[in-house]
Structure 1
Amino acid sequence: MSTPSPTALTAEASDPGAGTRGKAWGLTGLLVLLYVVNWADKAVLGIVAQPLARELGLSASQIGLVGSAFFLTFTVGGFFAGLLDKYTTLKWSMVLLSLGWALAMLPTVFAATFAVLLVSRMFLGFTEGPSSALIHTGTYSWHPREKRGLPSACITGAASIAKIAVAPVLALVVAGFGWRAAFLVLAVTGVAWCAIWLPFWKAGPYGEEKASKQPGGGAPDVSWGRIVLTPSFLGGAAAIFAMYALVTVVLTWLPSYFEVGLGYSAVQAGSMFGFPSIASLVLMFALSFTSDRLIAGGATSRMLRGLLPSAGLMICGAAMTTLPYLDTPWVAVAVVSVGYAFGASIFPLFNSAISEIVPPQQLAGTLGVFMAIMSTGGLLGPYLTGLIVDRAASAEDGYALAFQIFGIIALVGGTIALLTVNPERDKVRLMGARAAATSAN
């Protein structure tokens, strides 16, 4: 049996994940797959909105209300991420949540009324609420802090994958078999994921276990009040709140905008639903990969996880404000796609920034609160858009005005983040220079 070289032993001591990168990315892939299911469950309402509205006699405001009610319980559920992380393992938390999503798909299939739709989507929102923080925490346990931008982009990219690959399939299912079939397909998918997940998952070397084994017990606990009042947390929260409000408008209403507002067919609208996501996926991976390499080479998080995503959100907001002035359908589709791409790129970068400033043992709880604040944007987006469309002179005018309003909100959020997000500064403020340096290793 060969003996490891001193160089290899030194590398393993400084990087406990050395030699396990294939496993790290394989398990990251499982979590990304779950997030694809998560986003497909969200996106299905937008895909079935028109046939569902026709069958149940629903107005745009009622569809918007269902979308916003989902994000109400989604926000509440997000605050339970820390409790789930504390009292059960991530393996079983994910199984519990995935089965909950599958269950939430079924009531509307068998008893299609507005009340059943509303309650089932609220239950889905509550069970999806903790998932993002826990998925990020599980993923980060396999990747060191300076290399978390690209894994974060993979997780965030699940939303794009759901719209690019899954939404067109669901649109075809709806066209061929009716909207109920789409709900059934998603229920079966959630159960199937659990069967793949259970035999393979284990926590990685960069999570809480590592912190607890450090000399002196690792980085100290920091009060939650100090964490949420740091400028980086507040500025990042303002930015992702603004962008997530726009994301939920896109998720709930973009197929309807393409179909009713711009005149495309239902199948075309379902397929084009993925256009903004294709653009965002390319830009997100490019920015996250580049930022990880530059940070590992000595660049500052202030620049790459603060200023860069803030500028991206401001570009997104500026693009959306032009939609009421565009008369050509393909130009409107292009502007939505490019603007959305710049805005969506902020999520992995700001999530990585937040992961820098807190001790590992508080990461799940911190991300849970951060993403719960983010999801409150969903309370505003779908319902307000429905009201605007119902009251506009035409559907096209209503959708364009709604996108313009949320573009202005994005400009404000990007400006706040530009002035406040500085992970290096706030990591030292929270943990002290010595503890911050220890936690970063």
Structure 2
Amino acid sequence: MVSSKLTSPPAGTVTPGTESRRKAWSLTALLVVLYVVNYGDKAAFGIIAQSLKDELGISASQVGLVGSLFFFAFTVGGFFAGALNKWLSLRTVLIVLAIVWALAMLPMVFAATFGVLLVSRMVLGLAEGPSSALIHTATYSWHTPGRRGFPGALLASAASISKIALAPLLAYLSVTLGWRSALVAMAVIGVVWCFFWTRHWEVGPYIPAKASKDAVDPNEEPRVPWHKILLTRTFISAAFLVASIYALVTVVLTWLPSYFEVGLGYSRLQSGSMLAIPSVAGLISLIGGTLLSDRLSARGWSSRFVRIAAPSICVVIGGGMLFFLPSISSSPGAVAIVSIGYGVGVVVLPLCNAAVSEICPPQQTAGTLGIFLALMAIGGLVGPYVTGLIVDAAATPGLGYAKAFQALGLTSAVSAVLTLIFADPERDKSAVRGRVALPQ
């Protein structure tokens, strides 16, 4: 007879189907706030970029290099998500990461040099890298696989929320109190979040909690070899697609206020505040698209259609709009093209994350998403630096930014077409989970 010690679930878990939905959405909201802080740390750099150029005497390509090295460290950090999830509980690891983010804001406040800027942003990137997969894992623990599109969209909308809610505040602080005040504000917000997290977090029932070494759950799906997950056509093609869109997201975070200011002629305060405009379009796309996706999924529509085909077509449309940006001479017209092109494309991010989470067994979700989101972050490694090079080489800054967005639009559209051809989550889920499991 198997002892109760071996068959009982880990302490603190909730039986699937009996969880409080109010608690599920409250904790999802708390995780969205953490992701808003995450993106606020990124947006702060874009908002103060011109001030840093003026004070430190650095070039556009150097600003882009800092942005890209941040995402290099972010990519490296992402590969540690699975290991951190294995070593530490979600409660512990996320509070540690949030505190590191807050501390990483402060060196530039006391010693503003290019070297300090570079190191502090890389430390921030390394600490933020694993957080994306861990935040998604924590959120998915409260939602069934078939209904993860909308919660995933709320997480993806954190970028938009940070630009709508935080960017105008950070721009105002930067202009009125100096750029250092924006960094101090983000550090304080991060520490305040930790207080609420330690009081309220509890792991949900749909992803296994961190259990004791000897505990065994007889209902748990067996693990599968990692290469069987990572070499599926869905994983590979979706990784290229989200990397291309993430390049656009990071260029918007790093360079859009500069484009509005030196390329389109808006004031520094206007440019920082206008960072919210593309985010409104993105928020509408994310919420509307994923609500529709979850509803269609509940009605039996295939995952390939709702999480791959439909959002990929949106990316093709958005990329096509960005391709024509250099031919737009009107400043309001350019703002509209960037905003709509960005907005319709970002819906692919939560839906591809949900599609990839379908392929793997639940206990491998954090590791799978950690690798997937680390590969996604390669777009952030390339985008900001290449944009800086294009701007420095262009006849005018405005033309340089427009050509950079044109290249991003073309790249994302091609990636979307490839994903349409190759990705099929249901096919790859059957192939992966039908394999012989690894020994436990």
Q: CA deviation at 1:108?
A: 0.6
Match of 1:388 among 387, 390, 397: 390
Q: CA deviation at 1:317?
A: 1.1
User: Which string of whole-angstrom CA distances, capped at 9 and with x for unpartnered residues, describes residues 101-128 of structure 1?
Assistant: 0010011110000000000000000000
The one-letter amino acid paired with 2:355 is: A
The one-letter amino acid paired with 2:327 is: Y
1:366-385 matches, cutoff 5 A: 366-385=368-387
Partner SS state of residue 16, structure 2: coil
**Does residue 121 of structure 2 align to residue 93 of structure 1?**
no
Q: CA deviation at 1:215?
A: 7.3
Unaligned runs of 5+ in 2: 1-13
Q: CA deviation at 1:18?
A: 3.8
Match of 2:256 among 254, 257, 271: 254
Q: Normalising to structure 1: TM-score of the pair?
A: 0.93
**Does residue 281 of structure 2 align to residue 274 of structure 1?**
no
The one-letter amino acid paired with 2:284 is: V
Q: CA deviation at 1:315?
A: 1.3
Partner SS state of residue 224, structure 2: coil
The equivalent residue for 1:208 is: 208
1:28-427 matches, cutoff 5 A: 28-209=28-209, 216-427=218-429
Q: CA deviation at 1:432?
A: 2.2
Aligned-pair Cα RMSD in Å: 1.8
**Does residue 433 of structure 2 align to residue 431 of structure 1?**
yes
User: Which string of whole-angstrom CA distances, capped at 9 and with x for unpartnered residues, describes residues 9-38 of structure 1?
Assistant: xxxxx9823451000000001100000000
Unaligned runs of 5+ in 1: 1-13, 436-441
For residues 159 and 209 of structure 1, the distance between their equivalents in structure 2, rounded to whole angstroms, comes to 28
The one-letter amino acid paired with 2:259 is: Y
Q: CA deviation at 1:99?
A: 0.4
CA contact (8 A) 1:163 1:277 kept: yes
Q: CA deviation at 1:411?
A: 1.2
Count of paired positions: 422
Q: CA deviation at 1:433?
A: 9.8
The one-letter amino acid paired with 1:427 is: K
For residues 211 and 115 of structure 1, the distance between their equivalents in structure 2, rounded to whole angstroms, comes to 42
CA contact (8 A) 2:19 2:205 kept: no
For residues 44 and 416 of structure 2, the distance between their equivalents in structure 1, rounded to whole angstroms, comes to 29
CA contact (8 A) 1:211 1:217 kept: no
CA contact (8 A) 1:27 1:201 kept: yes
For residues 124 and 108 of structure 1, the distance between their equivalents in structure 2, rounded to whole angstroms, comes to 12
CA contact (8 A) 1:147 1:292 kept: yes
The one-letter amino acid paired with 2:23 is: K
The one-letter amino acid paired with 1:154 is: L
CA contact (8 A) 1:211 1:219 kept: no
The equivalent residue for 1:438 is: none
CA contact (8 A) 2:319 2:409 kept: yes
Partner SS state of residue 199, structure 2: coil
User: Which string of whole-angstrom CA distances, capped at 9 and with x for unpartnered residues, describes residues 170-228 of structure 1?
Assistant: 00000110000000011111111101110110100101149999974422211111111
Q: Normalising to structure 2: TM-score of the pair?
A: 0.93
Relative distance call for 1:19 and 1:130 in structure 2 (3 A) is: closer
CA contact (8 A) 1:211 1:361 kept: no
CA contact (8 A) 2:234 2:428 kept: yes
The one-letter amino acid paired with 2:371 is: V
For residues 375 and 237 of structure 1, the distance between their equivalents in structure 2, rounded to whole angstroms, comes to 10
CA contact (8 A) 2:259 2:398 kept: yes
Partner SS state of residue 157, structure 2: helix
User: Which string of whole-angstrom CA distances, capped at 9 and with x for unpartnered residues, describes residues 315-354 of structure 1?
Assistant: 1211111110000010111111111011111111001101
Higher helix share: 1
Relative distance call for 1:240 and 1:85 in structure 2 (3 A) is: same
For residues 74 and 289 of structure 1, the distance between their equivalents in structure 2, rounded to whole angstroms, comes to 29
For residues 51 and 399 of structure 2, the distance between their equivalents in structure 1, rounded to whole angstroms, comes to 22
User: Which string of whole-angstrom CA distances, capped at 9 and with x for unpartnered residues, describes residues 368-410 of structure 1?
Assistant: 0000000011111111111111111001110001111111111
For residues 427 and 397 of structure 1, the distance between their equivalents in structure 2, rounded to whole angstroms, comes to 45
